[in-house]
Structure 1
Amino acid sequence: MTTQIDAPIKSVATRTATTRLASIDILRGLTMTVMIFVNELAGVKGLPWWNYHMKADVDAMTYVDMVFPFFLFIVGLSMPLAIAGRLRRNPSLPALWMHVAVRTAALMVLGLILANADGGDAGRMMLPPALWAIVALMGAALFLNEYGESPRYATLHRWLRVVGFALVVVMFAIFRHAQGRAGWRESGSWLHFSYPEILGLIGYTYLAVALLYIPTRRWLWAPFAWFAMMATLNAVTAARWVTFPQRIPYYFWPFSNGAMASIMFAGIVTSVIFLGAHRWQSPARKTVLGISFGVLSLVAGWLLTPLGISKIRATPTWSLYSVGAAVLLFTALYWICDIYGKTRWAFFARPAGSNTLTTYLLPDLWYYILAAAGIHYFETRFGYGWAGVSYCVVFTAFILSVSALLTRGGIRLRL
């Protein structure tokens, strides 16, 4: 679907839930930009405390701690549009659930590659860990790339996917852990599943939210109720009134303590407010609803501060503050980008917003290429102070530029 970037206010007001807003891609692209920057900044020392993730034993949060919640929020924001579009193309519910399962599995596989690569045993695998990661990621890219529907190259595209799938299977089969890595199992053991990296966490949360949202998607009130229920689960878990979510692995209880699911449901609520088929269709009324939801989330987070403020502990204040900030930012972008049609300022971020998975994997692929080549120049020369910050800015621009080039060249990974 295309977006009418320069459409007048009247056309925006009459859009339906099947329309995609420019503000969604721009919010996604801005989040990707900040993610690339802060991930690189994590290795730079000598900066003020608010440039880093807060430790688990500190009741505080920084802007860095809000990047992951924004990803969850954007997945929820896009989910009603994606599901409605898929059901229009194919109304089969079994096919929809198969898509959910495949997408979840793909996110988990990518997460496991990134989470385990650094701990590989080169001797047992007969491959350096960095090279193992490169081959595994390239295999995943071949499988997930959007090749188009040209019948002329259909056979080639099919074989590229088969080769990509086989590469991932072989890399997983040969993986073995190295010895002496803290938090890992014994030397020679297989993949470690306890932490599936950010992509895996998004995959588990996507599955959990889909289990609740898809059967109730026709009910306007359902996303609001599920959001409130997940936020409540988060609060009672943080208060230690219930403890079972902390003892059950993600693959048995993908809802975890409710924090991540509540953030994703907040994205669905925001999508319903701005794109839902309700009677409040004017931009002004949508804005009032959006701002009210954002402010109420911030107030609820403030009231729950006695339960702690921590990304690591996934406390309700962290999740609700992140929700409030995401909703208010999206509301502002809705007016700037969709009502007034001002989108050119976001030129640097839009390719990342439309080709997100490719952009997400590029920094990791770059790190593994440098590691495989034995290049440590950048981390030793730009690891402190403002020199490090400057390098992070340049690195972010470099990754965004590569993403834009790949997007123009037709390299686009889709789940």
Structure 2
Amino acid sequence: MKSNAIRTGKKERLLSLDALRGFDMFWITGGSMLAVFFAEVTGFDWLSNQMHHVEWAGLRMYDLIFPLFMFISGVAIPYALISKLEKNVPQKTLLAKVTKRMVTLVVLGVIYNGALQGNLTNIRFASVLGQIGLAYFFAAVIVIYTKSFASRLYWLAGMLVGYAFIQLFVPVPGFGAGVLTPEGCINGYIDRLFLPGRLHGKVFDPEGLLCIISAAGITLMGSVAGHFLREQSRTPWQKITILSGIGAGLLVLGLALHPVYPIIKSAWTTSFNLAAGGISFLLMAFFYLIIDVLKWRKWSFYFRVIGMNSIFVYLFVRFIDVSTLTGFLFGWSPELLGDFGQLIWIVGYLGIIWSVLYYMYRKQIFLRV
């Protein structure tokens, strides 16, 4: 299947978006192993710690991967949907398209969780793919059925403030209001009441029902970035300034709220959304500057190949035992060469994955849902 290119007014692909998506996926498809290796060799423990999720409250690099992906999917919304609305494509046609995408991702998410392996009484219905599909759906519906950019900003502000109000002021039986712990947060309470099947966190699920609203918020943030990137009335440098300014402001606000309203990825607190969204704006501005404005592109090809098949590679590393294949080809290297051999093994692992993606890239095969 050929993908629909995301293009600027000059009919040139927005390469920075593919590169940033690939950069994001790189870390969960082997990149974190490479970072941990260098951290262990150099004794740079900080980097190793950043490659693991924080236990509950706080923020590490690894916590940014999922919200950044949500943000990037939102950046594409003005190109994928608003452009069609401007061409008088019926709203119901676009609604059918995003509904199909949502259903497909929810089903794939349940399969990813192992629904086909048996034990049908203990399926985990919430999933990363499901949250991507649902959050994108709600953000897309807002964009499709609002007539102005300002209206979308009102929706975004309402979602962020409303979500914070629910978490801080709606009481949970036995705990009260504003108890942001796995057991006491309103997210977990709603999941225990209404979410069937197994919960990832036993008493809550980080991809649970209430989290979908917050994830839709950061997707809508991405659509704001996409709006400015798509504007023809602004120069590239004005776009970079706007994205950077918004990103810095959101990050500062999120960090400022942290002492009283903690940054918690698993509960998708509004403070987390602000901080993660701010960093996402800054990364989008940086990649756009380097790749699409200054046109320093050769270095980004590796990431663009990953980014153009992001959903496929996420499923690929789940269903294909790349470690066993890597061990078959490079298992000798750690034993004979020590640390350098371990590096060869990791690079081989990354190389196998990228080779598959590069083959698909050359054949113009892109999994789009």
TM superposition score normalised by structure 1: 0.68
SS in 1 for 2:81: helix
Map of 1:34 onto structure 2: 27
Matched, 1:299 2:252: yes
Identity %: 25
**Does the C-alpha gap of structure 1 residues 55 and 240 become closer, same or farther in structure 2, counting only changes over 3 Å?**
farther
Q: Shift in Å at residue 41 of structure 1?
A: 7.6
Map of 1:212 onto structure 2: 142
Matched, 1:50 2:50: yes
Map of 2:162 onto structure 1: 233
Kindly indicate whether the alpha-carbon contact (under 8 Å) linking 1:351 and 1:403 is maintained by their aligned counterparts in 2. yes
Q: Greater relative contact order: 1 or 2 (C-alpha under 8 angstroms, separation 6 or more)?
A: 1
How many residues align? The count is 325
**Does the C-alpha gap of structure 1 residues 255 and 265 become closer, same or farther in structure 2, counting only changes over 3 Å?**
farther
- Could you give the per-residue CA deviations for residues 330-387 of structure 1, whole angstroms, max 9, x where no partner exists? 111112111122211111111112222222222112238959xxx9x97xx89x9997
Kindly indicate whether the alpha-carbon contact (under 8 Å) linking 2:30 and 2:346 is maintained by their aligned counterparts in 1. yes
Rounded to whole Å, the distance in 1 between the matches of 2:288 and 2:348 is: 29
Map of 1:67 onto structure 2: 65
1:21 to 14, 28, 34: 14
Kindly indicate whether the alpha-carbon contact (under 8 Å) linking 1:104 and 1:206 is maintained by their aligned counterparts in 2. yes
Rounded to whole Å, the distance in 2 between the matches of 1:334 and 1:317 is: 26
Q: Give 1:7-406 correspondences, 5 Å limit.
A: 15=9, 20-37=13-30, 48-56=48-56, 59-87=57-85, 91-117=89-115, 129=117, 176-177=118-119, 189=121, 191-193=123-125, 195-196=126-127, 198-216=128-146, 218-241=147-170, 247=190, 249=194, 256=211, 258-276=213-231, 279=233, 281-305=234-258, 306-367=260-321, 391-406=345-360
Q: Which stretches in structure 2 are left out of the alignment for 5+ residues?
A: 173-185, 197-207
Rounded to whole Å, the distance in 2 between the matches of 1:391 and 1:81 is: 40
Q: Shift in Å at residue 209 of structure 1?
A: 1.4
Kindly indicate whether the alpha-carbon contact (under 8 Å) linking 2:5 and 2:13 is maintained by their aligned counterparts in 1. yes
Q: One-letter code of the match for 2:67?
A: P
Rounded to whole Å, the distance in 1 between the matches of 2:344 and 2:274 is: 32
Q: Shift in Å at residue 273 of structure 1?
A: 1.7
Kindly indicate whether the alpha-carbon contact (under 8 Å) linking 2:131 and 2:212 is maintained by their aligned counterparts in 1. no
Kindly indicate whether the alpha-carbon contact (under 8 Å) linking 2:22 and 2:303 is maintained by their aligned counterparts in 1. yes
Kindly indicate whether the alpha-carbon contact (under 8 Å) linking 1:237 and 1:245 is maintained by their aligned counterparts in 2. no
Rounded to whole Å, the distance in 1 between the matches of 2:356 and 2:35 is: 22
Rounded to whole Å, the distance in 2 between the matches of 1:385 and 1:112 is: 38
Q: Shift in Å at residue 219 of structure 1?
A: 0.4
Kindly indicate whether the alpha-carbon contact (under 8 Å) linking 1:23 and 1:330 is maintained by their aligned counterparts in 2. yes
Q: Shift in Å at residue 28 of structure 1?
A: 1.0
- Could you give the per-residue CA deviations for residues 89-144 of structure 1, whole angstroms, max 9, x where no partner exists? 77122221111111001101110011125xx6xxxxxxxx4xxxxxxxxxxxxxxx
SS in 2 for 1:349: helix
Rounded to whole Å, the distance in 2 between the matches of 1:50 and 1:386 is: 23
SS in 1 for 2:223: helix
Rounded to whole Å, the distance in 1 between the matches of 2:243 and 2:224 is: 9
Rounded to whole Å, the distance in 2 between the matches of 1:255 and 1:83 is: 26
SS in 2 for 1:347: helix
**Does the C-alpha gap of structure 1 residues 206 and 19 become closer, same or farther in structure 2, counting only changes over 3 Å?**
farther
Rounded to whole Å, the distance in 2 between the matches of 1:64 and 1:393 is: 20
Structure 1 runs of 4+ aligned residues shifted over 3 Å read 1-4, 38-48, 84-90, 240-246, 248-251, 253-258, 368-371, 384-394
RMSD (Å) for aligned C-alpha atoms: 3.5
Q: Which stretches in structure 1 are left out of the alignment for 5+ residues?
A: 5-11, 121-128, 130-175, 178-187
Map of 2:183 onto structure 1: none
Rounded to whole Å, the distance in 2 between the matches of 1:234 and 1:392 is: 41
Q: Shift in Å at residue 395 of structure 1?
A: 1.9
Rounded to whole Å, the distance in 2 between the matches of 1:322 and 1:388 is: 33
